[in-house]
Structure 1
Amino acid sequence: MKNRRYLYLVIFAIHILISLVAFKDFRIDPQNFAFSNVEDGLKNTFTLLSYVKEPVSHDGIFKYNAMNYPFGEYVFYTDNTPLFSICFKWFCHHIYDLSDYTFEIFQTTLILGIILSGLLCFYIFRKLFRDDRFAFLLAVFLPWINMQVMRIWRGHFNLSYSFLILLAIAFSIMWYERREHLRKRIWVLAASVLLGYCAFFIHGYYLPIVTGFQAAILLIYGLYNRKTKDGKQSLVASVALPVITVGFTLATLLAFDKFYAFRKDQNGGYGWDEIKVHFGALVTSQDFYTIPFPLRSMKWNSDAETLAFLGNCGLFAALFMLLLILFRKAERSRFKTIQKEFFNDPLKASLFWAGLMMFSISIGETYNTDGSDGFMVYNLFNPFLYLHWFTNRVQQFRCLGRLAWPFFFSFYVWVIYTLIAMTKHYTIKQKWTVLIAFAFFGGMEIKDYVDKFQSVHKDNVLSKKNAPDFKPLKLDYSKYQAFVPIPYYTVGSEVGDFVLDDYGPVSLFSFQFQMHSKLPMMACKLSRTVPEQSHMLLTLFANDSLLPELKSKLQPKPVLVCYDKTAAADLSLGVVPGENRAVARDYYLKINQFPQRNKLNAIDSFGNIVFYEWYPKL
């Protein structure tokens, strides 16, 4: 026991040291450092900072009012890690105001997530293998090389928490260990429900990823032991876990989200190849790898949503064993025996098959062998295929590639168990050779990720230091009810006609200006926005038509129009809707003429931005 605690401390210390090197710039200047400051990274940073800073409105702490004025939005749809942002905002407003350090504290949680994953890896693999050496190495390597890590520099910060998947595995092991104690199992099930519930409010995709994965483990484990009391309890739990978790989650949304009934029940893009995993992705390493795996796919290999690399240390271990069984008859026989032992073990087999089921979901309900030119294979092993018969809400999880993440850890359960068993008869020297080779490949991967993190330094463009100097503006913000940036953007409704993408410099200015002026903006870049709200705002600015519901929510105060004259005049911008989106294009072009059409007079300017004052006709 003491030796095990010592190893936990060593693992903790190693991850601290790696973090100090990998995140050197963050350590030196945390307030002005950002892992990502463009696109989703910038938006997620803004929604976090603006939500924590804004006062709690009469609509309650769950309401977010910095965007989509006058409707606002609920924090669950802001991608600002609601579990963190809600708790932190409450703390800042009721206990002690740390809101000036919001982003530094949040980015620290990303690093702590890696460290926690390391401790959980050691707990899990030591339980499964009873081999401290490999468990130790996996605890060092896997938290840095798993499929979720790259989400940090891609700006999908809250999707990097791999410890949530590892907790699902840990709870499954606890369920197995308490098979003789029903009361203790109920506590494990309760903890699993709490895990899934909290995970959803970190990011919605964790509901199918974490709860779906653990439910699959319980289901398969129950099928292995279906004739025993242990198995029957597991089968019941495999149904109870997702039903209770989804029930609590849905009840929370229905209780606090007053717009819930008006949201779409499905998303566009479900089933697109660009957001599914393809088999080749499993062996396609990142472009920054020093030692690439000798096999890679040349298609779908550059985007975070399609990358699903299993890691060099595991793949080279698999390659080593493949060569053994190809060229040595005795090893071939030993391999077959080991696989029988592995798949006859209900716990280990369940962890593997459940991960494979999640991978099956990630490749979609159909699999195209060569895009539109190849065969379409219907994936009968995908549970979403059958859920789709009853509800379209499965389409809310259109980025199916994310559901492959549990398979990363399931793969290592299988490959390392097999490697340990295959080398059990080796001499001490041979075992150390295998261990050192495994450590070499894993160590090189960590080195590559550390180098990558050191190269992705970004300035926090929303910090006070990097914000524009708005002091020359002679505007009295208190007289305005809101501001609207033009070119206008509204993202999140998932209705093509009502979506206008944001132009980077315009959205950056609007984020910075909102944090300076504290005025809510009438633009929107969120998730699952109510389509009719987007429609009403587009109609207002494109057609000068103030619909009754919108009119009732506006105040008898002017709106500040922030008009980027350079961007509005440039029709070559990538965000300008094409001819194939005629309705959206018409909205975009008409809104760009809003100041001229309404004969507004300029009241101030800031670089390319011209400010106008507009009075809605209430």
Structure 2
Amino acid sequence: MKDRFSDANLGRLAVIVLGIALLWLRFPDFFATPNLVIEPYADGLKAYTNIEYHARHDSSFTYFEGMNYPYGDHASAAVTQPLVSGLIKVVSDYVVDITGYTRAIVNFSLLIGILLGAYFLYLSFLRLGTAPWWGALASLGIVFLSPQIYRFIAHYGLSHIEVIPILFYLLIRLEEAHSLKYSLWMAVALLVFPLIHFYYFVIMAMTISFYFFFGFLRKPTVRRFFRYLLHFSVQIGPPLVFFYIWMYHNNPVTDRAARPWGFFHFHSIWEDIVTSTAMPYFAWINEEVIAIQDGGFEGKGYIGLVALIGLLVLTIRWVSSGFKASFVQAGGELQPFLNKMMLTSLVLLLLSFGLPFTIPGLEGLLDYTGPYQQFRSVGRFNWPFYYAINLIVFTELWAWIDQSKAQWKLRLGIGALLLLGFEAYHSCTDPDLKLDDIRQLHEGETFADLPGIDYREFQATVPLPYFNLGSDNFWIEASGNVMPWTLILGMQAGLPTTGAALTRTSRSQAYNQLQLVYEPYRIPKILEDFPNEKPLLLVLGKYQFEQQKAHFEHMLTGAQLLFENDQYALYRLPLTAFEERIEARLRDINYTLKADSAALYPVAGFLSRDSTHNFYYESFDTLSAERYYRGGGAFVGEVSQPNILFDSTLPRQYGTGWYTFSTWIYVDVDRLATGFFHIEEYEAESGERLQEQHYRIYDHFRTFDHNGWALVEMGFIPQRSDSRIRFWVDNQDIGEAPLFVDELLIRHDIAEIYQKGQHYLFKNNRWYPVE
């Protein structure tokens, strides 16, 4: 016993020493220059800047104010890793300022996670009866092969490898002692790790739930039921109450997406589990034999060749016994733990495939799953299976070696460890995890060092081109370096941004943000929500702005240039500019109607630049509708069906030349804007389809009114002058939902259409109220 205790302690030391050495070999720049970044853009950079902004500038631990200004969002939804940012905040506020070392802290937290993962796997192997040296080597191989290594690319909150090994170890100790002490420790784990990323709460809670469920089915007695209920309540209850109160109770946001986009995209497929093209042999098969289907980043969960072979051997043994023997026979007194964990992780694996909802015809059942729909990236549920099957196979393999003491078995076992190490090397070196430098993070070159700019003068930044991600209703991608510059400037100067790259944000808040930056039409409602009259600071990426100039050039009207170099420019934008732009448009229309009236021809109740009737207008006023944009009527439909708005030949249709299809659509319906407008051209007599174009609704917004209505416009070139054009809209992804469309205008681009009414001016489907 004394020798085993000494060997176990030596194994602990070996795991720590070897683990640190392997980390230094794999991540040398983390040790040499730890305060750099793994990814200098998008999600990766956002993870660093959000954490530092939250620790440095936010007034509370709960709310993040750095993006989606002036609304902000909950610290958890903002991916601030509240545990990490909160600790940095406490130390910085009350001891010494360490916010400048946030990137290093985040980077080392990932490495410490690998080390802790190996350590707790090693402790689990010891409890399961393996030799210390065996457990130490297997543990190190398993953590470096872990699919979570790929999360180091950008999703740092999901990269904490220690979470599931700690969960398994606590379940082992609970299996041994049935003590509430371990359930209390589990409750602590369920409080701590979701404060890094809330997906851990779901993964851990589901693992615990299925584990107790299969434990009860194994021996369904009343006593066991109440014992499990007690432990389950202690483990899950306090964390659940805490997170409900902290995240959801009295939450002012009521219009987050009920079913975020991605469930049917971000799941695993079987190839993700049994193959990995990071391995040379699978790469060869993929290139020379048969293409291996790639399920995508979210579904990666390769278990390793040793675990795969072991799983096949264990399955054959179980089937050969007539299903009478236990699937797992190793583990000694903890054999029940391994069998229950096998069943538990297998169920979670099936859930990671999106089952049963990814079975054709059963997609609609997802509507009845309540909060489960919120966890769209279900591919992550395969992680417990990865750790469980490797724990089981290497425990079984050791038991097989240890029983007979045959040298050939030991050599085969060592070969398995070498294969694990070989695969771990290729897996952990496959993603590019070298640290990158960012010029604006260096002293003397930060945004705070720019001459002549007092950032206290401004209330927020506006990125140009604009980005807004997270509502699952409007998807405005970040372009180039505009997002990094905006986030770094905000972090350094304490300036929040109206841009958003968050999670499950409010639909109405996103709508208000878009109204701020899209074509001037109404005074943006968001101005009423600003806390003061300070100007905005425009952060303009020059190259990207030129690519999207038609959409955002108006934002420079009334703006004052403060600084520019060859990459970006900063402008002061007073809030009065928004009203002035609308007034300028009204003046232009009035001038055209008065001074240029000779060039306008009355056509079908409008004034046109062309004397011929080469446009089509439908007000839909004769249709009864609960919602309408103007005139008392609108087209009403069911969004999951093909809603045909136009099906005919265009007036004076040209075989060449651009036509603009313009209409107003009510978008204050969850995820409706993710649908499509379709324009199809058919041969008039035969009905042969000549061409078809599909336009994502949120990609073709032009402007917004205050009442949930948005103007969309699409360009189209007919192939023939006598063909039939069909224009329709649908959204197949959101089930039953009402559709309201109003004021359809189809015009040739040479035809500008005007109208002057008693209380409005009209130009190209824009309706400006006048006194």
The normalised TM-score by structure 1 is 0.83
Measure the CA separation in 2 of the matches of 1:315 and 1:3: 30
How far the C-alpha of 1:42 sits from its partner, in A, is 1.2
Q: Deviations over 1:228-270 (max 9, x none)?
A: 6345412554466445432321111145x74344433331222
Q: 1:40 to 1:412 in 2, by over 3 A?
A: same
Measure the CA separation in 2 of the matches of 1:535 and 1:404: 36
Maintained 8 Å contact 1:52/1:99: yes
Q: Deviations over 1:61-95 (max 9, x none)?
A: 32222222222222111212111111221221122
Maintained 8 Å contact 2:272/2:294: yes
Maintained 8 Å contact 1:222/1:233: no
Q: Is structure 2 residue 206 aligned with structure 1 residue 229?
A: no
Maintained 8 Å contact 2:272/2:295: no
Q: 1:418 to 1:478 in 2, by over 3 A?
A: closer
How far the C-alpha of 1:561 sits from its partner, in A, is 2.0
Q: Deviations over 1:311-349 (max 9, x none)?
A: 233234456778x979xxxx9669985637469943221
Q: Deviations over 1:414-435 (max 9, x none)?
A: 3234434544554531122122
Partner of 2:373: 395
Partner of 1:376: 360
Q: Is structure 2 residue 10 aligned with structure 1 residue 6?
A: yes
Measure the CA separation in 1 of the matches of 2:16 and 2:323: 35
Question: Which letter maps to 1:158?
Answer: G
Measure the CA separation in 1 of the matches of 2:329 and 2:429: 40
SS in structure 2 opposite 1:110? helix
Measure the CA separation in 2 of the matches of 1:155 and 1:488: 21
Q: Is structure 2 residue 253 aligned with structure 1 residue 279?
A: no
Q: Is structure 2 residue 77 aligned with structure 1 residue 101?
A: no
Question: Which letter maps to 2:554?
Answer: F
Q: Is structure 2 residue 6 aligned with structure 1 residue 29?
A: no
Partner of 2:338: 348
Question: Which letter maps to 2:95?
Answer: I
How far the C-alpha of 1:279 sits from its partner, in A, is 1.1
Q: Is structure 2 residue 189 aligned with structure 1 residue 195?
A: yes
Q: Which has the higher helix share?
A: 1
Measure the CA separation in 2 of the matches of 1:414 and 1:167: 16
Question: Which letter maps to 2:170?
Answer: F
Q: Is structure 2 residue 238 aligned with structure 1 residue 247?
A: no
356-365 vs 467-476, greater mean Cα deviation: 467-476
Maintained 8 Å contact 2:277/2:283: no
Measure the CA separation in 1 of the matches of 2:447 and 2:458: 20
Gaps of 5+ in 2: 580-771
Q: Is structure 2 residue 599 aligned with structure 1 residue 615?
A: no
Maintained 8 Å contact 1:222/1:232: no
Specify which of 189, 207, 217 is matched with residue 211 of structure 2.
Answer: 217
Partner of 1:339: 327
Maintained 8 Å contact 1:283/1:315: yes
Q: 1:541 to 1:102 in 2, by over 3 A?
A: same
Question: Which letter maps to 1:389?
Answer: Y
Partner of 1:135: 135
Q: Is structure 2 residue 21 aligned with structure 1 residue 17?
A: yes
Maintained 8 Å contact 1:224/1:231: no
Partner of 2:536: 559
Maintained 8 Å contact 2:349/2:382: yes
Maintained 8 Å contact 1:113/1:163: yes
Gaps of 5+ in 1: 369-374, 380-384, 572-587
Measure the CA separation in 2 of the matches of 1:460 and 1:603: 22
Maintained 8 Å contact 1:284/1:293: no
Measure the CA separation in 2 of the matches of 1:487 and 1:466: 27
Partner of 1:110: 110
Q: 1:461 to 1:325 in 2, by over 3 A?
A: farther
Maintained 8 Å contact 2:15/2:136: yes
CA RMSD of the aligned region, Å?
3.3
How far the C-alpha of 1:525 sits from its partner, in A, is 1.2
Maintained 8 Å contact 1:284/1:301: no
Larger RCO, structure (CA 8 Å, separation 6 or more): 1
Specify which of 190, 196, 199 is matched with residue 205 of structure 1.
Answer: 199
Measure the CA separation in 2 of the matches of 1:167 and 1:377: 39
Measure the CA separation in 2 of the matches of 1:455 and 1:483: 30
Measure the CA separation in 2 of the matches of 1:104 and 1:126: 33
SS in structure 2 opposite 1:170? helix
Maintained 8 Å contact 1:220/1:350: yes
Partner of 1:372: none
1:461-476 aligned within 5 A: 463-464=441-442, 471=449, 473-476=451-454
Measure the CA separation in 2 of the matches of 1:123 and 1:472: 53
Partner of 2:50: 47
Measure the CA separation in 1 of the matches of 2:260 and 2:291: 28
Partner of 2:66: 66
Measure the CA separation in 1 of the matches of 2:492 and 2:534: 20
Measure the CA separation in 1 of the matches of 2:298 and 2:574: 44
Partner of 2:674: none
Measure the CA separation in 2 of the matches of 1:292 and 1:494: 36
Measure the CA separation in 1 of the matches of 2:424 and 2:117: 15
Q: 1:515 to 1:340 in 2, by over 3 A?
A: closer
312-321 vs 84-93, greater mean Cα deviation: 312-321
How far the C-alpha of 1:474 sits from its partner, in A, is 2.9
Measure the CA separation in 2 of the matches of 1:44 and 1:445: 29
Measure the CA separation in 2 of the matches of 1:386 and 1:191: 36
Q: Is structure 2 residue 169 aligned with structure 1 residue 170?
A: yes
Measure the CA separation in 1 of the matches of 2:78 and 2:124: 33
SS in structure 2 opposite 1:305? helix
Q: Is structure 2 residue 527 aligned with structure 1 residue 536?
A: no
Maintained 8 Å contact 1:277/1:307: yes
Measure the CA separation in 2 of the matches of 1:512 and 1:233: 52
Partner of 2:698: none
Q: Is structure 2 residue 479 aligned with structure 1 residue 520?
A: no
Measure the CA separation in 2 of the matches of 1:228 and 1:547: 62
Measure the CA separation in 2 of the matches of 1:90 and 1:313: 45
Measure the CA separation in 1 of the matches of 2:11 and 2:71: 53
Partner of 2:471: 493
Q: 1:599 to 1:175 in 2, by over 3 A?
A: same
Q: 1:528 to 1:339 in 2, by over 3 A?
A: closer
How far the C-alpha of 1:121 sits from its partner, in A, is 0.5
How far the C-alpha of 1:507 sits from its partner, in A, is 0.8
Maintained 8 Å contact 2:124/2:168: yes
Q: 1:425 to 1:293 in 2, by over 3 A?
A: farther
SS in structure 1 opposite 2:397? helix
Measure the CA separation in 1 of the matches of 2:426 and 2:440: 29
Q: Is structure 2 residue 384 aligned with structure 1 residue 406?
A: yes
518-527 vs 415-424, greater mean Cα deviation: 415-424
Measure the CA separation in 1 of the matches of 2:366 and 2:201: 15
Measure the CA separation in 2 of the matches of 1:377 and 1:545: 44
Partner of 1:602: 561
Question: Which letter maps to 1:279?
Answer: W
Measure the CA separation in 2 of the matches of 1:544 and 1:201: 42
Maintained 8 Å contact 1:37/1:155: no
Q: Deviations over 1:124-163 (max 9, x none)?
A: 12212344343222222111111211211x2111211121
Measure the CA separation in 2 of the matches of 1:319 and 1:293: 22
Partner of 2:298: 305
The percent of aligned pairs where both chains have the same amino acid is 19
193-202 vs 126-135, greater mean Cα deviation: 126-135
Measure the CA separation in 2 of the matches of 1:188 and 1:72: 38
Q: 1:6 to 1:425 in 2, by over 3 A?
A: closer
Measure the CA separation in 1 of the matches of 2:203 and 2:293: 22
